[in-house]
Amino acid sequence: MSTLMVELPSGISPEEAKFLMAVKLFETEKLSIGQAAKLAGYSKSTFIELVSQLGIPIVNYPPEDLEQEMLL
C-alpha cells in the first residue's frame, strides 16, 4: 500500500479529508461501501448513515431496472 501526502487547506482535518475522499471513491464506484467505510475509519453502518445524510444513494439501482422489476 502506498502513502499519499497532501497539504490540506486550513480548516480541513485529516479525518475529514479521509472521509471526503472515501465518499468520493464510493460515489464513483471505485470502492465498495465496506472498503470506503474502512478507509474513512468508520463502521459500515456509521458510514452508510453519514453518506445518506449527504444525499448520496447507497444503492445504485437505475430507474429503468426498477421499472422492469415493477412490471414483473
Reading the block at residue 6, the C-alpha cell is 497532501
Is 1 part of any domain? no
Is 42 part of any domain? yes
Rounded distance between C-alpha atoms, residue 65 and residue 24, angstroms: 24
Beta strands in the chain (DSSP E): none
Is 53 part of any domain? yes
Is 32 part of any domain? yes
Number of structural domains (the chain) is 1
Q: What is the pLDDT along the chain (72 residues), one digit of tens a residue?
A: 678 788 999 999 999 999 999 999 999 999 999 999 999 999 999 999 999 999 998 887 777 777 777 776
Is 34 part of any domain? yes
Domain span at 64: 14-71
Residue 40 φ/ψ region, left for φ over 0, alpha for ψ in the -120 to 50 degree band, beta for the rest: alpha
- Contact, 34 vs 44, CB < 8 A? yes
